[in-house]
Amino acid sequence: MSSLVSGLSGVAAALFATLFPSDCRLCGADLTNISRLPVCKECLSAMRPIAGGLCSICGERVMSPYASSAGEDGVRCGLCRRLEPPYVKATAYGSYESGLRELIHLLKYDRVRPAANVLGRMLADAITDLEPLFQDSTVLVVPVPLHVKKMRQRQFNQSELIARAALKLKRTENRLELRTGVLERCRETQSQIGLSRHQRRENMRGAFAVTMPGEVAGREILLTDDVLTTGTTVSECARVLRRAGASKVYVATVARTLKADAQQVTQQFEPEEGRMTMAAAS
């Protein structure tokens, strides 16, 4: 009997350790509170919003006052002055670096789903920045889709999980309507890392399609994703949605790669693909 009790205790301890890890996955510090998210409060509090000096359209860091122009809509980067994006405005909560990048990786690659709740709060903050621009009584929230092969590997779309968590927190959630299946990723694409701007556009061309044009026509769309890196993915999605009749497209992401941070992006290992790749997403 004692051996049975001991065995059951061992199983219970192992299960408890799995569900409630004791060390922070980001800094390795002991966790003082029981939580399904293995990240300490200090690491979470260090994930701050992006501050100041951003393009009012794409959200990129404006590197020089001589490369921007302040108009009625605010400061625009040189690229947005030359070529207007297919979306009205893109905004992100934080910079894709350090703890925030690792938290996103916990969800995407380590499948720590409770991370979606924290990331959802960040996305909700980013959406708040866009809400004054919404004109429709109901705005469709469309997460950037995964290709079916990647969906089978990961078993969930992290962008959808984060969007669902964000909408639960929004007081205007009845104005924001989540719609999945409206947009599909109809072909796989190669990594955007190392490609020129023209090559990135060609890589994404034809990668997305609207499957329900009737749901999109004449509607305002809020496109959401976990990370905006080069902006090519969300731009292609926005173009496809606009061609299907969407009146306006807005973009909200948890994080984005800023110019000053791009050189700090290092090689990360993606366990599910078993290869070395740059830590980049959209």
In this structure, what is the dihedral angle of CA atoms 109, 111, 117, 123, given to the nearest 10 degrees?
20
Tokens, residue 241 = 């949605």
- Between CA 280 and CA 181, with CA 234 as vertex, the angle to 5 degrees is 105
Residue 14 is predicted with a pLDDT of 44
Q: What is the rounded distance in angstroms from the CA atom of residue 41 to the CA atom of residue 218?
A: 43
Residue 12 is predicted with a pLDDT of 43
* Number of residues in the chain: 282
Domain 85-278: assigned CATH number: 3.40.50.2020
191 φ/ψ angles, rounded to the nearest 5 degrees: -60, 140
In this structure, what is the dihedral angle of CA atoms 226, 231, 234, 239, given to the nearest 10 degrees?
170
DSSP letter at 133 equals G
Tokens, residue 40 = 């300490």
- For the chain, the distance separating the N- and C-terminal CA atoms, rounded to the nearest angstrom, is 56
Residue 8 is predicted with a pLDDT of 47
| Residues sharing a CB contact under 8 Å with residue 113, sequence separation 6 or more, in sequence order | 107, 156, 161
Asked if 113 contacts 194 with a C-beta cutoff of 8 angstroms, the reply is no
Distance of CA 231 to the CA centre of its chain: 12
Residue 266 is predicted with a pLDDT of 34
Residue 124 is predicted with a pLDDT of 96
pLDDT along the chain (282 residues), means of 10: 51 48 88 87 94 89 60 77 93 95 95 96 96 94 94 94 94 81 86 69 83 95 95 94 97 89 39 39 44
Question: Residue ranges of the domains in the chain?
Answer: 85-278
Residue 199 is predicted with a pLDDT of 76
Asked if 249 contacts 87 with a C-beta cutoff of 8 angstroms, the reply is yes
Residue holding tokens 């984005």?
256
Supply the angle between the helices 115-130 and 98-108 in degrees, to the nearest 10. 120
CA of 161: how far to CAs of 61, 104, 172, 281, in Å? 28, 12, 18, 16
